[in-house]
Amino acid sequence: MPDSSQRSLKSTLRKQIQTARAALPDRESRSRSIHDRWIQSELHRDSQAVVCYVNVRSEVATRDVINSLWQAEKRVAVPYCVERHLELTWITSWTDLTAGRFGILEPTPQLRTDPLRCPPIDELDVVLVPGVAFDFHGGRLGHGQGFYDRLLSRLPQRTMLVGVAFDCQIVSHVPAEPHDIPMHFILTESTLHDCRSDSIG
């Protein structure tokens, strides 16, 4: 299928799912359910270094997830924008963050230049990835800027990629292009699905 057709399909799907997510009731309680499913998972138990997005607007809230990672004495890195790329910084408290591009909380400029706060890519165990829509084959639809695809393409194969979403964001098929990076797991309020198998936990 030509790229223009893929882009059109993605744009239509993006609008549909963003509307559905914005209208979703009880996002706070649903986010808590996702948090609870995460902390009960082997991914949480076995990881030592986790990248987690900081939510904005109607995304699944991640504050509880990040707090739980700290409580479990795991290292937490969050992304920030540099031109058209995402970079990462270790954070140890919420005071390490300030409002950045698109109003998203990001590491303060002082921390970004501290070499001790720069995570080695090969040490990252799990990345919790936001998105507009996902499918259970690992397909992910982002906002169309490619920020996460460029970041995820740099990671070692052992790093587990977990798409985080509400159930209403799951579709039967996300149109894929060669540059799209698939997820290993999809985490929602009702399931933790291993996209590499048929198992649902």
Measured distance CA(118)–CA(87) in Å, rounded: 9
pLDDT tier, 198 (very low <50, low <70, confident <90, very high otherwise):
low
Domain extents in the chain: 3-22+48-194
Least confident residue range of 15-24, 96-105, 130-139, 154-163: 96-105
Task: Quote the pTM value.
Answer: 0.94
Measured distance CA(97)–CA(117) in Å, rounded: 13
Architecture of the domain defined by 3-22+48-194: 3-Layer(aba) Sandwich (3.40)
What sign does the CA torsion over 150, 23, 171, 67 have?
positive
pLDDT tier, 201 (very low <50, low <70, confident <90, very high otherwise):
very low
Residue-by-residue DSSP string for 131-146 = -SEE-TTS-EE--SS-
Among candidates 66, 63, 107, which has minimal Cα distance to 89? 107
Question: How many residues are recorded in the chain?
Answer: 201
